[in-house]
Amino acid sequence: MCLDSTTVALLSIKSLSVNFGGLKALDDVHLTVEKNSVTSVIGPNGAGKTTLFNVISGLVKPDSGSLSLHEKEIKWPAAHQLAGLKIARTLQGVGLFSGLTVLENVMIGRDHHRKSNVLKDALGLSEKDERELKDRAMDALAWAGALSLADKPISQLTYPDSKRVALARALAQEPELLLLDEPAAGLGQSEIDSLGELINGLKRRCAIILVEHHVDFVGEISDSVYVLNFGKVISSGSFDDVKRDPAVVAAYLGTTTQSTLGGSHA
Ligand SMILES: Nc1ncnc2c1ncn2[C@@H]1O[C@H](COP(=O)(O)OP(=O)(O)O)[C@@H](O)[C@H]1O
Ligand SMILES: [Mg+2]
Q: So where are the chain's domains?
A: 1-86+175-266, 98-174
- Say how far apart CA 222 and CA 69 lie, in whole Å: 20
**pLDDT value of residue 31:** 97
**pLDDT value of residue 102:** 93
Query: Is the Cβ–Cβ distance between 37 and 91 less than 8 Å?
Result: no
**pLDDT value of residue 114:** 46
Q: How far is CA 46 from the centre of its chain?
A: 18
What is the number of the ligand closest to the CA of 92?
2
Q: What is the pLDDT along the chain (266 residues), one digit of tens a residue?
A: 444 445 668 999 999 999 999 999 999 999 999 999 999 999 988 999 999 999 998 889 899 998 888 888 877 766 666 666 788 888 666 678 888 899 998 988 754 444 445 555 655 667 777 888 889 999 999 999 999 999 999 999 998 999 999 999 999 988 999 999 889 988 999 999 999 999 999 999 999 999 998 889 999 999 999 999 999 999 999 999 999 999 998 887 765 444 445 544 44
Cα Dmax for the chain: 60
**pLDDT value of residue 140:** 94
**pLDDT value of residue 259:** 41
| CA 42 to each of CA 59, 69, 100, 122, 165: distance values in angstroms, whole numbers, following the listed order | 20, 22, 34, 39, 24
At the top level of CATH, which class does the domain 1-86+175-266 belong to? alpha beta
- Say how far apart CA 52 and CA 31 lie, in whole Å: 10
Give the residues surrounding ligand 1 with Cβ less than 6 Å away. Answer: 20, 23, 25, 43, 45-51
CA of 46 to the centre of ligand 2 (A): 7
As a whole number, the mean pLDDT across the chain is 84
Spatial CB neighbours of 256, under 8 Å, sequence gap ≥ 6: 44, 263, 264, 265
Task: Round the CA-based radius of gyration of the chain to a whole number and report it.
Answer: 19
Under DSSP, the state recorded for 4 is P
**pLDDT value of residue 100:** 86
Residue 242 burial class via C-beta count within 10 angstroms: exposed 0-12, middle 13-18, buried 19 and up: buried
Query: Is the Cβ–Cβ distance between 56 and 67 less than 8 Å?
Result: yes
Pocket test for ligand 1, best of 18, 19, 51 (most atoms within 8 A of CB): 51
Q: Is 31 helix (H, G, I), strand (E, B) or coil?
A: strand
Ligand 2 (single-atom ion) residues, CB below 5 Å = 49-50
Instruction: Answer yes or no: pTM beyond 0.75.
Output: yes
**pLDDT value of residue 141:** 95
**pLDDT value of residue 110:** 54
- Say how far apart CA 192 and CA 183 lie, in whole Å: 9
- Say how far apart CA 264 and CA 258 lie, in whole Å: 8
What is the number of the ligand closest to the CA of 44?
1
